[in-house]
């Protein structure tokens, strides 16, 4: 007989919190943090917005566009003016 053992939602959150503490991360880390990180990395890798929208299950592309702001802020540090060289 095959049975499924479901994980209680609190168990996952507790394990993520413990892993973050062991890793020395002193910020709040949740499973949703991984979702944001995943979307941000996909944008940085050049994946189109519509594909990310589908992967995340967003109904509206405007919801997914929030991540473009984060990536734009991250890229500002990489942009160097020719006058600064």
- Beta-carbon contacts of 70 under 8 Å, excluding residues fewer than 6 positions away, are 36, 40, 43
Is 3 a domain residue? no
Is 65 a domain residue? yes
Total domains in the chain come to 1
3-class DSSP string for the chain? CCCCCCCCHHHHHHHHHHHHHHCCCCCCCCHHHHHHHHHHHHHHCCCCHHHHHHHHCCCCHHHHCHHHHHHHHHHHCCCCCHHHC
Question: What average pLDDT does range 53-76 have in this prediction?
Answer: 83
Could you tell me the residue range of the domain that residue 72 belongs to?
9-84
Is 76 a domain residue? yes
pLDDT value of residue 57? 92
Is 67 a domain residue? yes
pLDDT value of residue 79? 66
pLDDT value of residue 28? 93
Q: Is the pLDDT of residue 36 over 70?
A: yes
The mean-pLDDT minimum among 4-8, 13-17, 47-51, 74-78 falls in 74-78
pTM for the structure as a whole: 0.66
């Amino acid at each position: 007989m095959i049975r499924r053992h479901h994980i209680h939602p609190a168990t996952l959150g507790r394990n993520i919190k413990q892993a973050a503490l062991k890793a020395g991360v002193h910020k709040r880390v949740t499973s949703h943090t991984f979702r944001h990180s995943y979307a941000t990395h996909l944008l940085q890798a050049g994946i189109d917005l519509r594909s990310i929208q589908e992967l995340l299950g967003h109904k509206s592309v405007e919801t997914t566009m929030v991540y473009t702001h984060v990536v734009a802020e991250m890229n500002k540090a990489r942009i160097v003016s020719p006058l600064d060289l």
